[in-house]
Amino acid sequence: MPRVLFLVSSARELTFADGSTHVTGYFAEEALTPYERFTEAGVEVVVTTADGRPPLADPYGLEPFFHYPDEDEDFLASITRTFAHDVDDIRLTLRHMTELGLAAARRVYFALRDHGLDDAGARELINKAAQITWLGDRPFAEVLIDDGLAGPLSKADVEDAVAAVNADAQAESDRVAARLAEITGFQHPVNLAELSDAQLAEFDAVFVPGGHGPMVDLADNPDVTRILRVLHEKNAPIASLCHGPAFLLSAGANSEGQWLFDGYRMTSFTDEEEAQTPQGKAGMQWWLETALKGAGAVFDDSPAAWTSHVVVDRNLITAQNPNSADAAADAVLKALEVL
């Protein structure tokens, strides 16, 4: 049975460039999704933190808008593809996807069908309303009602559709938080600093989920240096997701004095994506994409922000953002030859 060292940040506070601080931690879905994929595949997962303290799920990552049901997100993607043809035209931003109610598109579509519209008619109204929402930065429900695109639906019908998807998102967020609270490793992690090099060598891979925490306690850590050196020497998979690749900055130098991952293709949470987060807007002390490039990475991001993107170069596996969690876990399982 393969053994994965599941290294989670135990940081609880992020300091901004102006000296102010904000609560931080790991991103809940980025930890739970790979954890469950690994355990379901029969992989032994050992949760560890750099200092042995229990990790904290960043409250921001538990906001309901990060937990919309997959079917609603997939439906919305089918809508936005009809008008967002060029990613360099007007980008779909985090605000578009999380703050304007667009995730309700699928629920409104079915409400229109239930009120007698055929598929083409319902789709036409939804597509128009979504495009206006995108271009005008206006709430989706407001556009439907005020611009006469709700068809036979009343204002209450539209509001009910929005409320329904938000309720399901809150329920999923609550489920994720409850599930993480049940996992012993997240409550009582192994202390990385107490593991010897010989013990580290017994692992078949390391995986680091994101959240801003890794930028605080994993980017310049001597024990992270040890695990990277030990596993890199045995050509074991070294994997990370979103802000998790910050731990690669602890790698140190190779025999020629270069960063251990100099010239490797990799990805991470991008500066474009960061600029759309509350943390990025508040003023980060440093930016992950920029730091990885400065260290010697060949940076490879998706053409469009917030889309799933995984890069595999030799034994290094990196993934760009929260939407890449499933693909990142699959890449690790494939590298371990259990998928």
Dist CA 213 CA 221 (whole Å): 13
What pLDDT is attached to residue 289?
98
Q: Give 84 or 274, the one with higher predicted confidence.
A: 274
What pLDDT, on the 0 to 100 scale, is given for residue 159? 97
Are 270 and 161 within one domain? no
**Mean pLDDT confidence for 203-223:** 98
Q: Encode pLDDT of 39-53 as tens digits.
A: 999 999 999 999 999
Residue 283: give the domain boundaries. 3-55+189-335
User: In this predicted model, what pLDDT tens digit does every residue of 85-135 receive, in sequence order?
Assistant: 665 555 778 988 899 999 999 999 999 999 999 999 999 999 999 999 998
Structure tokens at 126: 């939804």
Bigger pLDDT: 182 vs 252: 182
**Pairwise CA distance, residues 291 & 22, whole Å:** 21
Are residues 330 and 213 located together in one domain of the fold? yes
Residue 198 within a domain: yes
| Dihedral Cα 82, 86, 90, 94, nearest 10 deg | 70
pLDDT tier, 145 (very low <50, low <70, confident <90, very high otherwise): very high
Question: Which residues are paired to 265 by β-bridges?
Answer: 298
Question: CA dist 290 to 18, 249, 267, 275, Å?
Answer: 19, 12, 11, 12
pLDDT tens digits, 293-306: 999 999 999 988 99
d(CA 283, CA 240): 24
Query: Quick one: 163 and 224 in the same domain?
Result: no
How confident is the model at residue 163, as a pLDDT?
97
Are 50 and 193 in the same domain?
yes
Taking the C-alpha atoms of residue 327 and residue 339, their distance in angstroms, rounded to an integer, is 12
Average model confidence (pLDDT) for the chain?
A: 96
Residues 33 and 90 in one domain: no
Q: What is the pLDDT of residues 166-178, one digit of tens each?
A: 999 999 999 999 9
**Distance (Å, rounded) from C-alpha 241 to C-alpha 317?**
8
Distance CA 1, CA 3 (A): 6
Q: Are residues 78 and 8 in the same domain?
A: no
**Which range has the worst mean pLDDT, 68-82, 164-178, 184-198, 272-286?**
68-82
257, part of any domain: yes
Asked if residue 182 is part of any domain, the answer here is: no
- Give the percent of the chain with pLDDT over 90: 90
122 with 30, same domain: the answer is: no
* Chain segment 50-83, per-residue pLDDT in tens: 999 999 999 999 999 999 999 999 999 999 888 8
Nearest to 279 by CA among 11, 12, 23: 23
- Going by the DSSP 8-state scheme, the letter that residue 253 receives in this structure is B
Domain count of the fold of the chain: 2
Same domain as 150, residue 263? no
Give the CATH number for residue 9. Answer: 3.40.50.880
Distance of CA 107 to the CA centre of its chain: 25
For residues 118 and 228, state if they share a domain.
no
pLDDT of 254 reads: 84
Q: Residue 2: is its pLDDT beyond 80?
A: yes
pLDDT at 55 (0 to 100)? 98
- Directed axis angle between helix 105-114 and helix 70-80, to 10°? 90
The helix (H) or strand (E) run that includes residue 184 is helix 184-187
Spell out a b/e string for 87-106, using b for 16 or more CB atoms within 10 Å of the CB, else e: eeeebbbbebbbebbbbbbb
CA separation (Å) from 188 to 41, 54, 125, 265? 23, 6, 51, 34
pLDDT band (50, 70, 90) for residue 316: very high
* Per-residue pLDDT, 90: 58
